[in-house]
Amino acid sequence: MRKLIVAAMISLDGVMQAPGSPEEDGSGGFAHGGWVWPYSDEHEEAMGGVFKRPFELVLGRRTYDIFAGYWPYVPQGAPHRDIADLFNGAAKHVATHHPDTLAWRNSRALGADIAAAMRALKRDDGPDLLTQGSSDLVHQLLATDLVDELRLLVYPLLLGRGKRLFDERAQASAFRLEESRASTTGVLVTRYVREGELRSGGR
C-alpha cells in the first residue's frame, strides 16, 4: 500500500497561499504572494527531498492550472529544470469538475468521489502519492483520514490571513516527528508520520 504525503510550505500561523509569487493566487484579497523568497537557502534542497523517490502528484484544480501553465515551459538550463522534468513526467491525479480540460501530459481526473478515488490509488501498486499546494483538496484528505505523512517547511513569519493548511474538518489523529532541522534562515524543515488515533487523558 503506497503512502499519501502532504508536502507544504506554511507560515507560523499555518497559511500556505501563494508562497512562490504575487501572481500565484490572490484570491480573497491575499496580498503577500512570494513570501518564501526572503528565506531561500539550502532548505530548497530539503523540500527537494520529497522528490528524490518516485512519486505521483495529487493536485487541486487551481494548483494544477498554475503548474500546467509553468512547469512544461521551463527551458533547458533554467533553475528548477530538474523539478520540471520530474513534474512533467509524473502521473497527475486532479480534483476537477472538468476532466476534458486536463491537457498537461499524464493527467487524469479523480472523479466525483475523491475519497474513494484516493483509497483506490493507495491500494494500487506504484510510487507514493504527493500533494503540492491544493489547500481545499488537502482539507478533504485530512477530513477523511487519508494522509500518511506531512512534510512541512515552517517559515518564521505571520501572514495573518490566507488559505491555511489545516481547517476545522481535519480528523483528530496523532503524528510522530521523524525529522526536524532548521535552515540558516530559520525555516523549520519537518517530517511527521501518521502514528494512530489521538490519545488524551488527565490526572
For the stretch 138-147, pLDDT in tens is 999 999 999 9
Tell me the pLDDT tens digit for each residue of 54-110: 999 999 999 999 999 999 999 998 888 999 999 999 999 999 999 999 999 999 999
Say how far apart CA 100 and CA 113 lie, in whole Å.
Answer: 17
Q: Candidates 3.40.50.300, 3.40.50.10310, 3.40.430.10, 3.40.50.720; correct CATH number of 4-18+46-196?
A: 3.40.430.10
Q: Which pLDDT score is estimated for 45?
A: 57
| All three cell numbers of 143 | 477530513
pLDDT of residue 114: 96
Over residues 160-170, mean pLDDT: 95
- Quote the percentage of the chain above a pLDDT of 90: 80
pLDDT-based confidence at residue 203 (cuts at 50, 70, 90): low
For the four alpha carbons of 43, 48, 52 and 54, in that order, the dihedral sign comes to: positive
- Mean pLDDT for 41-57 is 74
Residue 46 has pLDDT above 90, yes or no: no
| Element housing 174 (H / E) | strand 174-182
Which pLDDT score, from 0 to 100, does residue 196 have?
83
Spans of all domains in the chain: 4-18+46-196
Predicted local confidence at residue 47, as pLDDT: 62
Looking at 55-157, list the stretches that DSSP marks H as alpha helix, in order from N- to C-terminal side. Answer: 61-68, 81-89, 114-123, 135-143
